Chain A
Amino acid sequence: MLLVIAACIPGVACSTWYFGIGVLINIVLAASMAIALEACALKLRGKELRVHLADNSALVTAVLFAIALPPGSAWWLLAIGIFFAIVIVKHSFGGLGQNLFNPAMCGYLLLLLSFPLDMTYWHIPNGGVLGGDNFTVLSLAGFGQSITASLPIFNHSQIPLQETIDGLTMATPLIEFEMGASSALLAARDAGVSLFSRSSETAWELINIAYLIGGLFLLYKKIISWHIPVSIIATITVISTLFYAPASFAIYGTPYLHLFGSATMIGAFFIATDPVSAATTSRGKIFYGIIIGLVIYSIRVWGSYPDSIAIAVLFGNFCAPALDYFCRPRIYGHGSKPKHKVQSEPES
């Protein structure tokens, strides 16, 4: 489990570089609350704390949940989400290994449905790239603003949304497609955005590459099997290529945008591969990945939700038990009939 967290490090580092210390604050807050809640839940269920906390599963849930949330989310938002994820989705279903759904994504989805505005507001200190260059996200002033956003106890008046909202710093470039703000994106592209300018498109490119590297590390360490990530990425590539037309680029996006301009990599390598709620047979995993890939694309292009990973993964979770039942491997000695053979006559 710790290796999963280790594999997140490049991605988290990239996110922090672009979106500021708020990413790390998210993770620290979520992780501490998750461990506290996990300990309470284990205590209530009469389990031995030392043995069961050591599996670090709550930590992984917390990290994945915190990464999915906008940087600089308020502490109460994180608290609600993580409570739902750990206590309701995981422990009330019987604890680790018994939950039907991915806890991190359930927590995320609950927040997305209940607090849509907070969940689509990505706080970037000083308004990111367009707001001027008085200070950068990683400067002291940038830290201060991130901490104030995360812990509104210190400063009750939240930074008003309309003042800092910025099309380019929203969750993913795909959202701009949804919101019809593609012109800004195209303009940025035309301007020849350099690698280290803090535009959201290159940011997400780099973040995705970082998560891809982390995911490949997990594959190399055999923590996850190749079936789910490969089938998700292949499905998205195939279907986005199928619908790709330069004329309707603004509606369907490019295959490249679908793979690297969104949360695809973290979804494919880190979220959909949660073994507890995913399909567990090899063939089942491939179908599971295909289903998730199709749902991700459908929701992005034809649906009305900006982020589709969470919904797609939960949809996959629903299908997993049936997939496992129908994709059982052929057991040794079952199936092919014994070959016809010539009876040899015993000598007398």
Chain B
Amino acid sequence: MRLINKLLGRRDDRAPYSFFGGISPPAHKTRSLRSRLMPTPIPELLLLPLSQNREADAIPVVNVGERVLKFQLLAEPGEPQGTALHAPTSGRISSISMAPVTIESSSPRLCMHLQTDGVDAAIDVEAEADYRALGHLQLLEKIELAGICGLGGAGFATARKLSLSINQGVDLLIINAAECEPYISADEALLRERAVDVVSGADILQSISLAKRCVIAIAEDKEDAIETLVAALKTSSIELITLASKYPAGGEKQIIQAVSGMQTPSNQHPPSIGVLVHNVGTAYAVYRAVVCGEPCISRITTLTGAPLQTPKNFETLIGTPVSFLFDLCGIDSAIHTGSIVGGSLMGIKLLNLDVPVLKTSNCLIAMSASEFPAAAPELACIRCGYCATACPARLLPQQLYAFSRSQNHQQIEDHGLFDCIECGACAYVCPSSIPLVQYYRTSKQEIRQLQASQQQSLRWQTRFQQHQYRIKLQQEQIQHHKPVSIDMDSIDKQADSEETGQQATSEIPKASFSRELAQQEIADAVARVRARKSGVIASSNNNENGS
């Protein structure tokens, strides 16, 4: 029947909305959904990284040793992409120092160490009963002050994303509740218990972005959440769309394709086609920020995995150490082999359990050998093409792999390496167990490095040519015995360009007190430079390599 509809070009109403490719790995979600959403006790020490995403650190506004209260502003964003940081509970700032944080890898970042006092004393927050009375820019300001960033994954500042999309104009706002990656159930737990608040949050986001249409998109297998959402949406103009439950339905590009049928153009953001996507967790944080007046100090995090005795979803304070949460769930360290932050397909392995929960940490998985067996040995690619069937970006992973191995950068870029969203669907289906995504990451890095070094050598080449040109000009002036007017700027430039390689130029600024002496010195320097013309080229190459 579906085939007939497809042939006739009709849309089958029963068919869930879908996108290219995708995989259906075992979900492993029921385990953590057995219990209700729970708040955590307050840990003794909270680690608050000054940056929750890849952007620059926020600027602290409190001093070390100062006592802070819950909801108090600790650091304000240093740049538009940054997010503000608030105290999740009351306590004393014991230090601001480097600590390991899992943002892209487990590299140390600047963190505030908050020694909690257990009192949980809060500053007064201003609740806003009727948010509809506020203008959309006022709402936007509230979100910016609340320090909300995308709670689904990349952690892009929500206020920034909204203001960019306001400028471009948005027709469709999608609230992403697909949560397609195995093990993660935070959004489902949230919707199951607080769907009404999420719907208010979505409503606020719609009124800020001025979108004509707002859609909540959820995977069709989340029946409980769909039930509560349907009830919550009864009086709302927001639509509910069920998506095919396959991975990566929750990818921004994929959810846009599934909901609207449009594709985000390569190298552009969704607002360029009039679409804006926000995570359902972000919508809830927006509700809390606007209606309750509370800044973003907690998030819902799934704790799951076979070594945990009571896997569940926690409403976790930002900055809680991972080890504290694992202990709360009763971890069986005998079978605990490792930990992941994020889902099992795109998550990052934790090397250190003292890292804090970030605004983007939606899931913490304790791995066991039975669920996460050691990687099978990598076999040869037989070009079976399963990966191409699974790829949601419609790439040819088998070709990319071949070009990645042969370091054929031209071909690999022609085949769309930079359109790869690194979802890992290809590696999941690979019968030869090739870690394809690792190959693509390596190639991306290689190409970026190559481009950077090419740009740098171009810069050095230009500077060298300018340097030669200046020498030529000065020489002409000397030969014609014209009175030379020394342009200090040009000398500075010359010094600047030679500072890394040549010591001769250090004499020039010294001579500046006497015009004649300066002329003499320049003439000498020029003669020296002329004598070593070929040497200069060599040294310039050395500079390029050295810097």
Task: Give chain A's interface residues, CB within 8 Å of chain B.
Answer: 48, 51-52, 55, 57, 95-98, 225, 275-276, 278, 280-282, 324, 328-334, 336-339, 341-344, 346-348
Contact = CB atoms under 8 A, between A and B. Distances in A.
A287 to B, nearest CB: 15
B263 A332 contact: yes
B264 A333 contact: yes
B20 A324 contact: no
Contacts of B380: 52, 55, 95-98
Contact of B419 (A98, A332, A341): A332
A334 B135 contact: no
B501 interface: no
Nearest to A277: B383
Given A96-B380, A333-B265, A336-B263, A342 B169 contact: yes
B171 A276 contact: no
A280 B388 contact: yes
17 contacts: A51-B379, A95-B380, A96-B379, A96-B380, A280-B385, A280-B388, A324-B396, A331-B394, A333-B419, A336-B263, A338-B265, A341-B274, A342-B169, A344-B169, A346-B137, A346-B210, A348-B137
B392 A332 contact: yes
Contacts of A344: 169-170, 210
A190 to B, nearest CB: 44
A336 B393 CA distance: 15
Given A48-B377, A332-B264, 16 more contacts: A95-B380, A275-B382, A280-B399, A281-B385, A281-B396, A282-B385, A329-B396, A331-B419, A332-B263, A332-B266, A332-B394, A333-B253, A333-B419, A334-B266, A334-B419, A346-B167
Contacts of A282: 385, 388
Contacts of B398: 280
B262 interface: yes
Interface in B8-42: 20
Contacts of B395: 331
Contacts of B169: 341-344
Contact of A324 (B263, B273, B379, B399): B399
B55 to A, nearest CB: 24
Interface-central residue, A51, A332, A347, by most chain B CB under 10 Å: A332
Contact of A339 (B135, B262, B377, B393): B262
A331 B383 contact: no
A231 to B, nearest CB: 15
Nearest to A223: B384
B383 A333 contact: no
Nearest to A344: B169
Nearest to B416: A331
A57 B432 CA distance: 12
B353 interface: no
Contacts of A331: 266, 393-395, 416, 419
A95 B385 CA distance: 18
Contacts of B392: 332
B41 to A, nearest CB: 44
B56 interface: no
A314 to B, nearest CB: 17
Nearest to A48: B377
A181 B379 CA distance: 49
A329 B264 CA distance: 16
Nearest to A320: B383
A332 B396 contact: no
Contacts of B253: 332-333
B1 to A, nearest CB: 20
Contacts of A336: 263
B35 to A, nearest CB: 38
B273 A330 contact: no
B166 interface: yes
Nearest to B395: A331
Nearest to A222: B386
7 interchain residue pairs of minimum CB distance: A97-B380, A333-B266, A344-B169, A96-B380, A331-B416, A332-B393, A343-B169
Contacts of A347: 135-137, 210
A334 B396 CA distance: 14
A134 to B, nearest CB: 48
A331 B395 CA distance: 6
Interface in B220-272: 253, 257, 262-266, 268, 272
Contacts of A334: 265-266, 416, 419
Interface string B387-405: 0100011111011000000
A282 B382 CA distance: 16
A48 B396 CA distance: 29
Contacts of A97: 380-383
B415 interface: yes
Nearest to A97: B380
